[in-house]
Amino acid sequence: MKIKNENNICIITGGAGGIGYHLSEGFCQKGYKVVVLDIKKHNELSPDIDFIQVDLRSETEIKNSFSKIAEKYGNAHILINNAAISTFHKNIEDISIDEFDDVINVNLRGSFICCKEFIKINKGETYGRIINIASTRWNQNESNWEAYGASKGGLVSLTNTLAVSLAK
């Protein structure tokens, strides 16, 4: 029995590469209308997947992306915050404050803004899910992963708090 998901809009950040690419293709194959938000097309996406180029460092770009989604579809049902700077690790003595901020701005702040915008366009819907992709690095760290670990720890905390705040 095939589940009819064609009316369910799924937004996936970082959905054009790595894990996000496979999430995008998988949700598309299951019949969801997938909208990918990514800084660039790392891989060629199925023609049924919408792509919006967005830098998660930019509040304006994120808000514009969600406005485009709302204009085209009217709503959204699933947000998967997958995008992250995950290959960056540097010795604490060498990492600059700007580099640390960059990781936090993409991985945590960008996800937070996406959550806020998603909640706006999901308002009034009977179904909605926010899935934030974290990592074991938030509590099982290795040396030189301070920025990434801090961003994912913050994301875990954000997720837990959103679950309480949005429980109704």
- Catalytic position from the list 21, 32, 127, 148: 148
What's the chain look like in SS3? Answer: CCCCCCCCEEEEECCCCHHHHHHHHHHHHCCCEEEEEECCCCCCCCCCCEEEECCCCCHHHHHHHHHHHHHHHCCCCEEEECCCCCCCCCCCCCCCHHHHHHHHHHHHHHHHHHHHHHHHHHCCCCCCEEEECCCHHHCCCCCCCHHHHHHHHHHHHHHHHHHHHCCC
Q: Which residues pair with 33 in a beta bridge?
A: 9
127 catalytically annotated: no
Residues catalogued as catalytic? 148
